[in-house]
Amino acid sequence: MPRAQTLTDDLFSAAPADDPRALVEDAQGGIRYWPGFLESGLAADWFEELKQTVAWEAQRRPMYDRIVDVPRLVASYRFEDAEVPAPLIDAAQRLREHLHEPFNAVGLNYYRDGNDSVAPHGDKMHMLVEGHPIALVSLGSPRRMTIRDNASRKALHVDLAPGSLLVMSHASQLTHEHGIPKTREPVGPRISLAYRVRPPRNARG
């Protein structure tokens, strides 16, 4: 089995905060990581505000012959809607300027501790506008993401720092899986903001 590579914030510390690190290459930009996209104080303030103001949902889903709890809290917004929390609008504007992408929606995951997770997956392609990336902003405590090549099964582990930005191309959703595994290590709570370009609500597939 191929040995997984682990990238920590220390390995990126020598580079400027606005200098991305290429983790996966493809024709659409691959997967890139900016460890210091947001100032630490701003990231901390946004975490506290969103923790209190977002209408978090505890969901359940079928798995085989039973119904199980989704191991995290979730929320989502479209920017055409009213009452979107201010940090989400601010982050969207920063991302649009930084990446020149028309993000119109954001999904949130709240990982309360090491028992919360998301299984390895690629985004559902019919829920994305082709050619546009997914931008993940991390707030709160660091948490490890696993990125795995579907063909070789080679894995890359990235410790997502608070205030960091991970950008995944549309094409990478077909070639790689990403997830946040459970951990027995002591970890604090983390909120992820996943910005996407969604089709219009009235679009028919």
CA geometry: angle 160, 166, 204, nearest 5 deg = 130
Alpha helices in 29-132 (DSSP H): 40-53, 86-99
**Residue type at 119?**
A
Distance, CA of 15 to CA of 3 (rounded, Å): 25
Residue 67: beta bridge partners?
A: 62
What's the pTM? 0.90
Q: 136, 111, 147: which is closest to 7 by C-alpha?
A: 147
Q: 77, 76, 90, 94: which is closest to 46 by C-alpha?
A: 90
Residue 149: beta bridge partners?
A: 176
Q: What is the pLDDT along the chain (205 residues), one digit of tens a residue?
A: 455 677 665 444 444 456 799 999 999 999 999 999 999 999 999 999 999 999 999 987 776 777 778 999 999 999 999 899 999 999 999 999 999 999 999 999 999 999 999 999 999 999 999 999 999 999 999 999 999 999 999 999 999 999 999 999 999 999 999 999 999 999 999 999 999 999 998 765 4
Domains of the chain: 5-196 (2.60.120.590)
